[in-house]
Amino acid sequence: MSCLLYTGFAAPYLPLVDHVLARGNPGLLGWVERVGFSARNAWRALADVPTWAPLVVGQMRRLGVDSIPIALFIALFTGIVLALLSATLFIGAVPPYFVGALVGKTIMMELGPVLTGMALAGRVSANIAAGFFLGRPGHEGVIPSVWVASAVGGNSLWSNLFASVAGALMYFATLTEVPILQGLLGAGMGKGPALALLLAGPALSLPNMLVIRSVMGTRKTLVFVGLVVTMATISGLIFGALF
């Protein structure tokens, strides 16, 4: 723990923190030390510009330039959906010859790029967060791979159920699922739980459950959530057993 901070004001308190953490949870002490080492090494590595600058440029190309096809795909279909919806709403309120120009300028030229930028920002931030918290091949992240393997490793009923419930409660944007799942697989997640997470994630989320409850009621919402979690768990078990 003494390696966590190298500042003068914190040095007198480090032995006390060491003692409290060691008595409470030795595993927590090791995790805090790993986080401290990571933060210290990251701070020291900032001065080594010739080493990290080419890597940053490569990641910028991978996350930015390589995302252009995805951005165009999102912009195209987002523009189509919004254009059709807006045209349906505007017909009858404005002259028909004005609908096309209004939709093209206000929706496809303004709102479409904004949504595309938000999608790209989500993809980039998800890659960065997955690499930082879950690590990359050969490098441990903030979250130990032992924790991931113990929770969702293998193809047991518990691991698939845990992945299904986690995916049902959390909100995953479409473009953020891939890098997060890639990090989880690299940290020891099984293929079956990975599929269960992918199936339950888009279908459910906590805000989604609240909206469904307001429309369908509590009992039907619980049945719907139970069916999604059950089917995702079964699908994960079958997929993990086959592949």
pLDDT value at residue 147: 84
pLDDT value at residue 107? 63
Share of the chain above pLDDT 90, in %: 15
Whether the predicted pLDDT of 235 surpasses 90:
yes
Q: Which of 7-21, 81-95, 146-160, 168-182 has the highest mean pLDDT?
A: 146-160
**Lowest mean pLDDT segment, chosen from 45-49, 127-131, 205-209:** 127-131
Q: Going by C-beta distance under 8 Å and a sequence separation of 6 or more, which residues neighbour residue 188?
A: 145, 146, 148, 149, 152, 153
The alpha carbon torsion through 32, 19, 25, 9 (nearest 10 deg) reads: -30
Place of tokens 């032995």: 15
With cut-offs at 50, 70 and 90, classify the pLDDT of residue 11.
very low
> How far is CA 155 from each of CA 40, 150, 183, 185, 199, rounded to the nearest angstrom?
37, 11, 18, 13, 16
- Give the per-residue pLDDT at 73: 73
> pTM here?
0.57
CA distance 116 to 126: 15
pLDDT at 36: 78
Q: Per residue in 196-210, pLDDT tens?
A: 998 888 888 888 888
List the structure tokens of 185. Answer: 């697989």
pLDDT score of 1:
42
Q: Tell me the average pLDDT of the chain.
A: 75
pLDDT band at 157 (very low <50, low <70, confident <90, very high): very high
pLDDT in tens, 135-153: 665 666 777 788 888 889 8
Rounded distance, CA 173 to CA 150, Å? 26
Bridge partners, residue 188, by sequence: none
Using the predicted structure, report yes or no on whether residue 7 has a pLDDT greater than 50.
no
Question: What pLDDT shows up at residue 2?
Answer: 40
How many residues are listed for the chain in this entry? 243
Evaluate if residue 50 carries a pLDDT over 90: no
